[in-house]
Structure 1
């Protein structure tokens, strides 16, 4: 591929921008076939590599999908979902998913959870929880939907040494089912002092694309969250959110200036 001068938009980006606008304008409705690579090269006067890269970009965005031996088609539009995070004194009690469900009931929210109580910690998880690799953990995998669309996957790990043998061993069962990490941990004597969140973006891996029902390489928002007490971490979680049609919104309190 020829080099691109500084400040010049690459050919594949220009083609992707043009096709994206035609899709959004309704020229290619959901389920319809968009121009082939050969048609793109002729229409936009670009090479086959640029045409291929443009289609890959639109596929990663979740706008189109390839069908073997048939062509590339516009995907059905996913509902836009706002996953609101209220960073206030009640964090962990007013859960972001509950806020989103209450604000958007017309989208038919639902969720499932699968909890295992004897999962060995990987090196990465052990590092985040300050435990030994292979130490026993409770792993809970949640899948959240609005209608038929998967909007979030949440996988959490808690050391069995903390919750084992207590009423809060299973996050969605018992007297504090669904109460949130701070309330559950406080009930067994572990008071949360702060939570750390790292937000990044990356393409979806093969297994993630199957679970989240998005194309391989589609953009994901990845939220790594760890709840901590003065003694150390008590839970860590990976939250995966398809980035094409979903938005994470933070609402943060602001203290008034001194003397106001």
Structure 2
């Protein structure tokens, strides 16, 4: 209802936010206990918890199990450039700002129906599924990716596992080129999501936090899907830039 009074936890969150903004609570400051804050602001434990969770989702606070809740230092936003390079579209495995990454591949995983539809195969066909975790310079997880490749394409080759073999850690494009397959385009479908419990745990963010899911599929020169992946990024950490070349309009008549 227009003009309605904000809930108490929202007013408490506003007060917390003001203290962070004006420096009363500087980066690294440990907040008083919920009991102390409840006594100060006239709210119970649930009110203080909801106010803290709201600011955690905004990236202003950080909960440390067994230690308390702390003010986070301002974090530099990361940038992902999605721009096709001649002959090598979106080839980079890890975008700028990523210091390291880990991968774990599992072979002979039946493709779920939704993944099979993206790959143009039958549900249950065997794939290699690879889980990636990308870390920033502070060793914090800032992106995950779940990749699927049909074993009908790579299963009899030395590059069947993206994280192993002679081209372990190389891009899909490089590994497919090893098999004589030319990857010529990629289709990406970004959409906002709320991180579920498993996704939030992998990204070390509160469940329900806003994230960006990019469904990406690589195609060869016969328009066959050769790999599809779900990239998940916390919305408060990333800016996604699409730099798209346009064809010349030509001379006007």
Which of the five TM-score ranges fits, normalised by the shorter chain?
0.7 to 0.9
Q: In structure 2, what is the equivalent of residue 122 of structure 1?
A: 112
In the TM superposition, residue 79 of structure 1 has moved relative to its aligned partner by 4.3
Distance 1:231 1:15, change over 3 A: same
Q: Mapping of 1:137-156 within 5 angstroms? A: 137-147=127-137, 148-156=139-147
C-alpha deviation, 1:31, in angstroms: 3.7
> d(CA) in 1 for partners of 2:244 and 2:39?
50
Q: Decide whether the 8 Å contact of 1:33 with 1:74 is kept in 2.
A: yes
User: 1:5 Cα deviation (Å)?
Assistant: 1.0
Partner-residue secondary structure (3-state), 1:139: strand
Q: Deviations over 1:98-135 (max 9, x none)?
A: x515xxxxx8x111111111212122212221222222
Residue 221 (structure 1) aligned to one of 212, 225, 228: 212
Give me the TM-score of the superposition, normalised by structure 2. 0.79
Shift in CA distance, 177/65, structure 1 to aligned 2, threshold 3 Å: closer
Separation in 2, partners of 1:211, 1:132: 29
Distance 2:23 2:140 in 1: 21
Change (3 A) 1:25 1:135: farther
In the alignment, the residues of structure 2 paired with residue 132 and residue 256 of structure 1 have an alpha-carbon distance, to the nearest angstrom, of: 41
The match for 2:240 is: 248
Whether 1:199 aligns to 2:190 is yes
Q: Which sections of structure 2, spanning at least 5 residues, go unmatched?
A: none
- Check whether the contact 2:89–2:185 (CA below 8 A) recurs between aligned residues: no
Per the alignment, residue 104 of structure 1 pairs with none
| Contact 1:62 1:218 survives alignment (8 Å) | no
Aligned-pair CA distance for 1:144: 1.0
Distance in 2 (alpha carbons) for counterparts of 1:73 and 1:176: 42
RMSD: 3.2
* Residue 138 of structure 1: how far off its partner (Å): 0.5
Could you tell me how far 1:21 is from its partner in structure 2?
4.2
Among candidates 59, 62, 71, match of residue 59 of structure 2: 62
Task: State the SS of the aligned residue for 1:28.
Answer: coil
**TM-score between both structures, scaled by the size of structure 1:** 0.77
Moved more, 83-92 or 221-230: 83-92
CA distance in 1, matches of 2:163, 2:66: 45
The alignment status of 1:33 with 2:24, answered yes or no, reads no
Q: Which residue of structure 2 aligns with residue 81 of structure 1?
A: 78
* Cα separation, partners in 2 of 1:14 and 1:181, compared to 1, 3 Å: same
**Number of residues paired by the alignment?**
244
Q: 1:137 to 1:51 in 2, by over 3 A?
A: same
Provide the residue aligned with 1:136 in structure 2. 126
- Kindly indicate whether the alpha-carbon contact (under 8 Å) linking 2:89 and 2:184 is maintained by their aligned counterparts in 1: no
Unaligned runs of 5+ in 1: 102-106
Change (3 A) 1:255 1:10: farther
Given candidates 147, 153, 159, the residue that maps to 1:162 is 153
Q: Give distance in 2, aligned partners of 1:133 and 1:141.
A: 20
